[in-house]
Amino acid sequence: YFLYPAFGWVMFVAVFYWVLTVFFLIIYMTMTYTRIPQVPWTTVGLCFNGSAFILYLIAAIVDASSVTKELDSHNYNSWAASSFFAFVVTSCYAGNTYFSFISWRSRTLQ
């Protein structure tokens, strides 16, 4: 990752959102959100998923544009796979953003 600074950005986004996703997963699994009713959890979820989608989309595009097939590059398949899975994660966050928006909209209409 030190040879290509673009991959550092991809790793930052991946690790940052992985940690936050695990944090929110623990909050939801332990039902901690029911003990903190002051926090608008639907809005938090929408903002989190929307920002994850946007930053993962940027990271996936940067990752895909940085992958080149060089003559002595034995990691080409690994870099190509990382680009593919970055787009898979981006589409997962996009779907989650959509469902968070539906939940947020139904909460604000009540």
Sign of CA dihedral 55, 102, 91, 20: positive
Q: 13-62 pLDDT, tens per residue?
A: 999 999 999 999 999 999 998 899 899 999 999 999 999 999 999 999 99
Which residues are CB-contacts of 76 (< 8 A; sequence separation ≥ 6)?
67, 69, 70
pTM of structure: 0.85
